[in-house]
Amino acid sequence: MSARLDPSRSARFLYPGVSILVVSESPGHLAWLAEFLCPDFATAPPADADHTVILDIDTARYLDLWRRGPDPSGTWIDCFALDSGAVRLPRWRSSPDEIVVFDGEYRVFCIVTPDRRTIRLVAPRFGLTMRNTLMRVVRELAMIAAERAGALIVHGAAALVGGAGLVFAGPKKAGKTTLLLHLLSRPGAAFVTNDRVAVTMEEAGGAALRGMPTIVAVRERTARTFPAFDQRLRSSGFHAWSTLDEVARRRRRQAPAQRVWALSPTQLATLLGVPRVASAALESVLFPRVTGARGGIEIRRLAPSEASDRLRHALFRAHAPTSPVGVLLAPSDETTERATRDELCRRLADRVPCFDCALGREAYEEADGAELFASPTTTTR
């Protein structure tokens, strides 16, 4: 297959343990995917890979698939992991040698071969929404490979602050994004990831973190906490489904405040004026929580047993019996049992300092917040 590949319409995306060839007749979709995924993923010239993902923009074929209708069994299949659970999509009528599901939110059909080596995405010829499904497929394949290799996929943000690799782990509305923006405003900080991070144990001891790119959801209240950032955000014209170049070619206008802004990782780093980095040694894990009380930032080191329990509840699919999900998991793939994940959490808590991070109402008035987090000690501000 590699001999027939056009470098302008195909590219390989590499994540530790997996290579994914993406083919699209539109170079713009490939450019967007590279801008979104890199540097967490590396790119390479097109060649044979572990998986091939084909983006087929074809309204006639899309309508033909639509007319087939849902599978008579009424089956819904887990497809993509999100922080609140798996995205479940309806199975569609198909031949015995393929699995077809329909993503109605983004208007894309996913056609998957039984061995999960080839995934074809069929979308109509309008809008950019299919880019989200394309990104999810590539990312899910990377997550499956990372977990198969022993990584923990943590629901958390990550940054380099004062040269230290930090992970901020916890559920939605724990304050991860606001804390991340606060720390990235400091000189020398670098952005890794905003919502999920792959953590691996190092043979020589310690642990390492690597970004797993996601759309950045910035709530209006978070943006208004940082007035200069809020102004740049509203005048940027950014949206997660566009590249920086595509936004620059459009006429910009001042956008009204929104309940939630959707940005790509590169767009967030651009607004903050910070670099993106793919990986780092993991120096500490913090579990932020918004207290609503008066005060600034209070950090308390956790005992390994308490830290291990916090980590277990901060994993993606924390309560699922197995780690990978659904339609992209080949029958031959091994799953990660909950007991194995628990043991990995215990090992991580023994190797890396973990902290409870209480965020009071004045937490972001501290000008030297970066120095606070770069010091792995029990500290109150």
Spans of all domains in the chain: 8-147, 150-380
What radius of gyration, in Å, describes the C-alpha atoms of the chain?
21
- Stretch 4-24: mean pLDDT: 91
Question: Which residue, 142, 123, 124, is CA-closest to 133?
Answer: 123
Query: In the predicted model, what is the mean pLDDT of the chain?
Result: 88
pTM of the model as a whole? 0.91
Under the banding of pLDDT at 50, 70 and 90, the label for residue 187 is confident
Q: Across residues 371-379, what is the average pLDDT?
A: 53
> What pLDDT does 248 receive?
92
State mean pLDDT over 77-87.
Answer: 82
The mean pLDDT value for 50-74 works out to: 95
Confidence check: pLDDT of 321 > 70: no
Which residue intervals of the chain are DSSP H helices? 27-37, 59-68, 130-148, 176-184, 220-225, 227-236, 244-249, 265-272, 304-313, 338-351, 369-374
Tell me what pLDDT residue 163 has: 85
User: What confidence score (pLDDT) does residue 232 get?
Assistant: 93
Mean pLDDT of 208-224: 93
Is the pLDDT reported for residue 371 higher than 90?
no
What distance in Å separates the CA atoms of residue 218 and residue 260, rounded to the nearest whole number?
5
Question: Of the ranges 140-144, 201-205, 283-287, which one carries the lowest mean pLDDT score?
Answer: 201-205
Q: What percent of the chain has pLDDT over 90?
A: 66
Residue that wins the pLDDT comparison between 223 and 6: 223
Mean pLDDT along residues 191-213: 93
Between 61-70, 180-189, 328-337, the lowest mean confidence (pLDDT) is in 328-337
Q: Give 378's pLDDT tier (boundaries 50, 70, 90).
A: very low
Best-predicted range by mean pLDDT (2-11, 75-84, 207-216, 335-344): 207-216
Q: How far apart are CA 103 and CA 215, in angstroms?
A: 18
DSSP annotation string for 105-125 = TTTEEEEE-TTSSEEEEEE-S
Query: CA–CA separation, 14 vs 43, rounded Å?
Result: 6
* Confidence (pLDDT) at 170: 87
Q: Is the per-residue pLDDT at 256 higher than 70? A: no
pLDDT (mean) for 330-344: 70
Is the pLDDT at 194 greater than 90? The verdict is: yes
pLDDT of residue 67: 96
pLDDT given for residue 373 in this prediction: 61
Task: Find, among 271, 220, 230, the residue nearest to 247 by Cα.
Answer: 271
